[in-house]
Chain A
Amino acid sequence: EIMMTQSPATLSVSPGERATLSCRASQSVNSNLAWFQQKPGQAPRLLIYGASTRATGIPARFSGGGSGTEFTLTISSLQSEDFAVYYCQQYNNWPRTFGRGTKLEIK
């Protein structure tokens, strides 16, 4: 099973600033990585797939990068609605596995 490690566990950033979240896989997942956003009381929402392709309707301030074992999610200018928990998931190997999440909070 591929382990997904996200860092940091919590990230405090001010609105308007840039946030960079990291996700590391225990072995290569090529570019088969997705990012999800989850707000309290809501289901997760797909942001990025293929490591860098934005899902339908996702604002351009969200960007994904990386391949192999190291990935990043960058939010270029944080809006109030972006404060949430973010999960990465690999779908290169069975079973699909999630990271433990990064909580993005207002500084």
Chain B
Amino acid sequence: QVQLVQSGPEVKKPGTSVKVSCKASGFTFITSAVQWVRQARGQRLEWIGWIAVGSGNTNYAQNFRERVTITRDMSTNTAYMELSSLTSEDTAIFYCAAGHYGDYWGQGTLVTVSS
């Protein structure tokens, strides 16, 4: 069956970076796209960016453009989202979602930024 399995929770210091992974199975990863979404506790969904797996083309939200990098490794069917210059406002659950419309979602990764 289709699965997106994300890496485990992270605790980071302000100013550092975090890299979250998203491993896909059960569908053709290379023809898919992956988007990343942030959700602070009790808050709305916030779109971070997107990667077309086959071409590697990316697109990022303006709010994150200067400090986010989304990549993929087709040999392991895994997408990555790296966010730098973390602040306490980045404390949130980060989701990956695959498929053109966000058809499949990972379980979420809690990133806590605290000194």
Please pick, from A36, A50, A56, the residue contacting B102 in the complex, using a CB distance under 8 A. A36
Residue in A43, A55, A101 whose beta carbon sits within 8 Å of that of B101 in the complex: A55
> Quick check: is A63 within 8 A (CB to CB) of the other chain?
no
Q: How many residues of B contact A (CB 8 A)?
A: 23
Any B CB within 8 A of the CB of A1? yes
Interface set, chain B 42-79, CB cutoff 8 A to A: 44-47, 49-50, 59-62
B95 within 8 A of A: yes
B100 neighbours in A (Cβ, 8 Å)? 49, 91
B107 within 8 A of A: yes
Most chain A beta-carbon contacts within 10 A, residue among B37, B62, B108: B37
* A70 to B: closest C-beta gap in Å: 20
**CB distance A101 to B102 under 8 Å?**
no
Shortest B48–chain A CB gap in Å is 9
Using A36-B102, A43-B95, A44-B105 as known contacts, say yes or no to A1 and B62 having CB atoms under 8 A apart.
Answer: yes
User: Which residues, 23 to 51 on B, are CB-close (under 8 Å) to A?
Assistant: 35, 37, 44-47, 49-50
Measured between beta carbons, the chain B residues less than 8 angstroms from A91 are: 100-101
Does B47 contact A43, Cβ atoms closer than 8 Å?
Answer: no
A-side interface size class:
20 to 34
A17-25, A76-84, A92-100: which lies at the interface: A92-100
Asked if A95 and B61 sit within 8 Å, CB to CB, the answer is yes
A43 contacts B107, C-beta separation under 8 Å? yes
Contact between A45 and B101, CB atoms less than 8 A apart: no
Bound-state Cα–Cα, A94 to B58, Å:
11
User: Which residues of chain A (16-40) have a CB below 8 Å from chain B?
Assistant: 34, 36, 38
Given known contacts A87-B44, A96-B47, A96-B50, is B105 in contact with A43 (CB within 8 Å)?
Answer: yes
Q: Please list the residues of chain A having a beta carbon within 8 angstroms of any beta carbon in chain B.
A: 1, 34, 36, 38, 43-46, 49-50, 55-56, 87, 89, 91, 94-101
Not counting A44-B102, A89-B45, A95-B49, a sample of 7 additional A-B residue pairs whose C-beta atoms are within 8 angstroms of each other reads: A44-B105, A46-B102, A50-B101, A87-B44, A89-B102, A91-B100, A101-B45
